[in-house]
């Protein structure tokens, strides 16, 4: 048991705080490099804010473990993830370490299935001072959330597709009423939460209903759910038009909800709007479980060089604090989530913090230092 775990457990006993266990997966490549400072900040904030306690148990899973042992995620680790209050993950995988059939090592994707983490929540938020690619001033204060369905769609056939006689390949799309209803229900609930925070809430369904029957069905279920949430505006957009709109006028959207593969692609456009993969956080939300991780992969090209941008990891941890606080009614955790977000915003607001991925020279340590300073200022 690490000293951080001991000190948090002691804190919990002494103050009788709301206590939560976090299953931590540092993972491969830059995963451990962004996870370590993140846990450091979470420990400091827990002490600073009070009212809750976190205990972290770290687990090995991923490509490097698979290469060494033949298992990407042992049974006892599955059990620990299932029993934890939340899962915090750095990044997992390596392009050159694969299963014999060529698939990438991705226990985080298996966890989505196993724990039914049906909503992939990908906020696209930018702040003044952040180095964003679009010149329009409105791109400097984006606040969109993209929700990606994560249990079916084209990914339902992940390891079941066929190649016949080297002549034909086939994967099929699955859209069910049950999964679509819960997805859209989540999207409208989020829209309502954002409306109560003063945003002009609107939920946009992204599909290809003009061509594929599966998406015609997806859209018709969306319309049924929208009819039960008339306090929130709803509309549709074909995926090709959305790709264009996200580049031309992303500020005109609020909550975007879509199928698994479309969401996978559009959320990378979202990360691009934020300037880079190192800025984009995510949450995989289910009815009982939730996993929080940066959108980026393990970035083997920069691993071990101190160049990884830890911002997406910090923002994912902020989402975890907000989710736990909301679910267990611990306002201090939601406050902690807001403070972490504000500290990131404050870190970039002077406009002089340029991560390596933007061509600057701020590495993991420099960005962490600046965010820590801002947290200190807010204390």
Both tokens of residue 330?
């611990």
Place of tokens 């266990």: 21
φ, ψ at 87 (rounded to 5°)? -120, 130
How far lies 140's CA from each of 11, 123, 144, in Å?
40, 14, 12
The H or E element that residue 322 is part of is: helix 311-328
**Rounded least distance, CB 148 to ligand ATP, Å:** 14
What is the DSSP secondary-structure string of 186-216? HHHHHHHHHHHTT---EEEEEE-TTT-HHHH
How far lies 242's CA from each of 163, 237, 283, in Å?
31, 6, 22
**Rounded least distance, CB 55 to ligand ATP, Å:** 26
Residue 164 bridge partners (DSSP) = 168
- Position 299 contacts ligand ATP (CB under 6 A): yes
Q: Would you say 11 or 276 has its CB closer to ligand ATP?
A: 276
Three-state secondary structure call for residue 346: helix
> Which part of the chain contacts ligand ATP (CB under 6 A), choosing from 203-211, 227-235, 296-304, 337-345?
296-304
> Which part of the chain contacts ligand ATP (CB under 6 A), choosing from 18-26, 147-155, 246-254, 306-314?
306-314
**Rounded least distance, CB 336 to ligand ATP, Å:** 22
Q: Would you say 289 or 296 has its CB closer to ligand ATP?
A: 296
| Residue window 84-123: x/- pattern of binding to ligand ATP, with contact defined by CB under 6 A | ---------x------------------------------
> Which part of the chain contacts ligand ATP (CB under 6 A), choosing from 45-53, 164-172, 250-258, 299-307?
299-307
> From the list 83, 301, 352, 377, which residue makes contact with ligand ATP (rule: CB under 6 A)?
301
**Rounded least distance, CB 243 to ligand ATP, Å:** 17
- Position 267 contacts ligand ATP (CB under 6 A): no
> Which part of the chain contacts ligand ATP (CB under 6 A), choosing from 40-48, 226-234, 305-313, 366-374?
305-313
Q: Would you say 41 or 324 has its CB closer to ligand ATP?
A: 41
Of 52, 168, 159, nearest to 103 by C-alpha is: 159
> From the list 357, 363, 374, 375, which residue makes contact with ligand ATP (rule: CB under 6 A)?
357
Q: Which residue is nearest to ligand ATP (CB)?
A: 297
**Rounded least distance, CB 278 to ligand ATP, Å:** 3
φ, ψ at 133 (rounded to 5°)? -80, -25
Q: Would you say 53 or 72 has its CB closer to ligand ATP?
A: 72
**Rounded least distance, CB 151 to ligand ATP, Å:** 19
> From the list 296, 339, 370, 374, which residue makes contact with ligand ATP (rule: CB under 6 A)?
296
Judged by phi (left if over 0) then psi (alpha if -120 to 50, else beta), residue 93 lies in left
Both tokens of residue 155?
């990914």
- Position 62 contacts ligand ATP (CB under 6 A): no
- Position 302 contacts ligand ATP (CB under 6 A): yes
Q: Would you say 246 or 302 has its CB closer to ligand ATP?
A: 302
Exposure class string for 288-316: b at 16+ Cβ within 10 A, else e: ebbbbbbbbbbbbebbeeebbbbbbbbbb
Both tokens of residue 79?
């059990």
Three-state secondary structure call for residue 242: helix
> From the list 107, 123, 250, 297, which residue makes contact with ligand ATP (rule: CB under 6 A)?
297
- Position 18 contacts ligand ATP (CB under 6 A): no
Q: Which residues bind ligand ATP (CB under 6 A)?
A: 30, 93, 277-278, 296-299, 301-302, 308-309, 312, 356-357
């Amino acid at each position: 048991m690490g000293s951080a775990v001991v000190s948090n457990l002691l804190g919990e006993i002494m103050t009788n705080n709301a206590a939560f266990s976090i299953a931590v997966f540092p993972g491969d490549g830059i995963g451990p490099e962004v996870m370590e400072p993140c846990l450091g900040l979470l420990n400091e904030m827990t002490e600073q804010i009070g009212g809750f306690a976190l205990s972290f148990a770290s687990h090995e899973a991923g490509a490097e473990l698979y290469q060494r042992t033949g298992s990407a995620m042992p049974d006892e680790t599955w059990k620990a993830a299932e029993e934890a209050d939340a899962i915090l993950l750095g990044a997992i995988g390596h392009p050159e370490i694969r299963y014999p059939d060529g698939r990438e090592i991705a226990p985080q994707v298996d966890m989505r299935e196993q724990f039914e983490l049906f909503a992939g929540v990908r906020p696209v938020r930018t702040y003044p001072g952040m180095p964003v690619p679009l010149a329009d001033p409105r791109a400097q204060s984006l606040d969109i959330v993209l929700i990606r369905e994560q249990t079916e769609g084209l990914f339902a056939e992940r390891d079941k597709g066929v190649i016949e006689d080297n002549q034909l390949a086939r994967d099929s799309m699955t859209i069910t009423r049950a999964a679509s209803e819960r997805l859209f229900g989540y999207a409208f609930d989020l829209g309502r939460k954002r409306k109560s925070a003063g945003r002009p809430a609107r939920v946009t369904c992204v599909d290809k209903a003009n061509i594929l029957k599966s998406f015609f069905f997806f859209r018709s279920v969306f319309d049924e759910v929208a009819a039960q949430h008339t306090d929130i505006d709803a509309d549709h957009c074909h995926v090709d038009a959305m790709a264009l709109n996200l580049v031309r006028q992303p500020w005109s959207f609020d909550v975007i909800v879509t199928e698994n593969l479309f969401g996978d692609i559009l959320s990378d456009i979202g990360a691009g709007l934020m300037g880079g993969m190192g800025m984009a956080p995510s949450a995989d939300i289910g009815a009982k479980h939730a996993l929080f991780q940066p959108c980026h992969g393990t970035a083997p090209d920069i691993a071990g060089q101190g160049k990884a941008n830890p911002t997406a990891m910090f923002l994912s941890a902020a989402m975890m604090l907000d989710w736990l606080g909301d679910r267990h009614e611990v306002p201090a955790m939601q406050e902690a989530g807001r403070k972490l977000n504000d500290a990131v915003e404050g870190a970039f607001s002077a406009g002089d913090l340029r991560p390596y991925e933007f061509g600057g020279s701020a590495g993991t340590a420099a960005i962490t230092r600046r965010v820590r300073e801002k947290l200190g200022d807010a204390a």
